[in-house]
Each structure stands twice: as C-alpha cells, then as structure tokens.
Amino acid sequence: MPIPIRGPLAVPFRLCGITQSKMNPNICTICERSFRYVKKQRHISANATILFADIRGYTHLSERIDPIVLSEIVSGFQDQCAQSIWAHDGIVNKQMGDGLMAIFNFPIKSEHHAAAAVRAAVEIQRRCASALGDLESGHAEPAPEALGVGVGVHTGEVEIGEFSNFRSEFTAIGGAVNLTARLESQAAPGEILVSSAAAKEAPDLMAGIATRSLTLKGIERPILAHVLTRGV
C-alpha cells in the first residue's frame, strides 16, 4: 500500500518521522533512510541510468564574485537541476557543490529510464542556459572559460544500497557510475554526452545526433559518446 506523503493522511507518518524525500518529493524517507529494512539486504544489483551535471567555469567564477552571490548561483543551479530530474521520475542522489548525481529507474521504476534521463539533461541545459548567460554578461571582465553546464548520461548495471555504517542513505556505485562521471568531465559548456549504452535505449532521441570518440581516464577502451547541445 502506498504511503501518503501529502495531505491529512500523511500526519501520522510525519509524527513517526516519515516525510517527503529530498531526493524526490514523490517518494518518502523510508526509501531514503531504510533501504536495508525495505530490501532485506544492504545492497542490490539493478539496471539504471546515471546522470552527472556540473557547472563549467565555476572555479574562475568563484574568484570573481562575492561568496554569498556564488552560493545563490549554486543553489539556483541545484534547484533547476532537481526540478528537471524530478519531472522525469529521477532522484537527486548526491549534491556536490557545483555538481550533482542523479539515478533513474530506482526507486521509481521506469521502463524508458534512459530516455527520461536524456530528457532531464536537455531540460537542465534549457533551464540553466539563460540564468548563467545573464550572469556572465553582467561581468565586464571576460572569463577564460565560458559558463555553462556539462552533463553525462550512461546506462548500465550498478550496485544500489547502503555502503556506510555511519550513514543510512542509499546510493549507487560501480563501473557505470564511474563512466558517467568521466563522460560528464569531458562535456563542454552546454553539452550532454550520452554513452552508446544509454543511446541504444533511447533511439528516438538519438536520431541524427553527432558522435565523438573519447579516451576517458581509468577506461581502457575509447568510448563513443552521442553529443547533444543546449540547442536540441
């Protein structure tokens, strides 16, 4: 039976500390904090799509503007990304300053999770492009690196669960997560790099999209990435 997380029916659950998850407001904190009790094990194998996003030009930006203004920019970026991810049934699993990691197909199941992640990535670019562009034009001093967001998307097998004895929140680990992070690190401002594995699961979105061969740190063989830009 689904647990109500809004309205008067949610009051008894809130009294027990069960509320909306910060990873996605459409799930509750039982998923977030009690993985091993729900799944009866510390971690499970799952097929999922991982998304990493990061602000390009952030380091130089942090040297040019007031820390309070910088924190507002980061908050705005995180909020815009979260809204895009939630709109496509993903969860914001980790927020790391000017970057984040999202998971699609867990705990919210989605048959077309790769396509959902790509659509979320496109929406992230759309939402962030205007705000970062306005910020950049407001500074007389030209930045050596254009401001923008780089995104990586990859689909594969991951281990999902609790991997710490001190924190109860679940996360995903494995080669697929590492590859996604490496993809994102190679994305230029405004770019989305989608692995062949993810592209294969979202063929309608990949038609006519250019590809790029990448040599990624820690990955033995070159990776073929599909390259989407903020204009798609």
Structural domain spans, the chain: 1-33, 42-229
Average pLDDT, the chain: 82
- How do residues 83-92 score in pLDDT, each as one tens digit? 999 999 999 9
pTM: 0.84
Instruction: State whether residue 107 is helix, strand or coil.
Output: coil
Candidates 161, 148, 130; CA nearest to 192 is: 148
In the predicted model, is pLDDT for residue 31 greater than 70? Answer: no
Q: Give CA–CA dist 65/4, Å, rounded.
A: 43
Candidates 74, 73, 106, 66; CA nearest to 90 is: 106
- How do residues 110-159 score in pLDDT, each as one tens digit? 999 999 999 999 999 999 987 776 665 555 454 545 678 999 999 999 99
Buried b (16+ CB within 10 A) or exposed e, 102-117: bbbbbbbebebbbbbb
Q: What is the pLDDT of residue 2?
A: 46
What kind of architecture, by CATH, is found in domain 42-229?
2-Layer Sandwich (3.30)
Q: Render 70-100 in DSSP notation, one character per residue.
A: HHHHHHHHHHHHHHHHHTTTEEEEEEETTEE
